[in-house]
Amino acid sequence: MERVPIPTETYKLGFIGAGKMAESIAKGVVQAGVLPPSRICTSHSNPNRCSAFESFGVKILPRNQDVVEDSDVVVFSVKPQVVKDVVLQLSPHLTKKKLLVSIAAGTKLKDLQEWAGHSRFIRVMPNTPAAVGEAASVMSLGGAATEEDGDLIAKLFGSVGKIWKADEKLFDAITALSGSGPAYVFLAIEALADGGVAAGLPRELALGLASQTVLGAASIVTKTGKHPGQLKDDVASPGGTTIAGIHELEKGGFRGTLMNAVVAAAKRGRELSQN
């Protein structure tokens, strides 16, 4: 069967699940001018969640079924443990004319497609920096999703950060790196700030310097395209303070520990997806 193209200029977007991630994506889409809020809708039983969406003009509909019927692109942004029940419940309304998207961690395309009754599905793994427009997202296309469908979703999620396309078999590793990665970086920022306090800095100054330093360093990597090893060498002058600090990090197994964290998280992701 020939797939009906999504009308790029007039399509409507619906969110099944109105949590923080859905809010971040919807807000980013509106702020970037990708869609007006009048063409976005969701539904939720919690008045506070509804108010969050209504605050920037998104329509609130009575039921999830209404959201599906009103939308050309439907994003499932519910918790992984309920996504099966939600997709199955709505499957009679999930026609092949609709492009379906899931951001539920650990839920595979083959299962989503089976529950929905067709394979015009795209799986996306965003991360929490979507809340500030700096997400690292990855998408994988289902069997019936077209390249045009992929372009549309890339534009949507590109409004809240950067997005890559990858084979779904890589998603456990992607989740371990970009999904869990913000927590590793938060830990590093806290540790840097603690080091500053230990060296005599006031707590507020230490935390501000640590967070801005991490932000600045990441920006140099993304904007210059230089290898981080080269950038590290540029900072570490012979016999200086930086190389003394790096020496301590190496003695503590800093790089190996971070690598192990990603590998452990990927392993745990595989275990959870098999349950």
Residue 64 is assigned to a ligand binding site: yes
20 is in an annotated binding site: yes
**253 vs 107, 214, 260, CA distance in Å?**
34, 20, 10
Question: How many alpha carbons lie under 13 Å from residue 249 in its C-beta half-sphere?
Answer: 16
Binding site annotation covers 259?
Answer: no
Burial of 8 (0-12, 13-18, 19+ CB in 10 A): exposed
DSSP states along 225-259 = ---HHHHHHHH--TTSHHHHHHHHHHHTTHHHHHH
- Helices 181-198, 254-274: inter-axial angle, 10-degree rounding: 150
17 is in an annotated binding site: yes
Exposed / middle / buried, residue 84 (Cβ in 10 Å: 0-12, 13-18, 19+): middle
CA within 13 Å, CB half, 54: 10
* Distance in angstroms (rounded) separating the CA atoms of residues 101 and 32: 20
State the distance between the two ends of the chain, measured CA to CA, in whole angstroms.
Answer: 34
* Separation of alpha carbons 254 and 140, rounded Å: 32
Binding site annotation covers 21? yes
Query: Tokens 């989503």 belong to which residue?
Result: 112
Query: Does 260 carry a binding-site annotation?
Result: no
**52 annotated as ligand-binding:** no
| Widest distance between CA atoms in the chain | 69
For the annotated binding site for NADPH, the residues are 64
For the annotated binding site for NADP(+), the residues are 16-21
For the annotated binding site, the residues are 16-21, 64
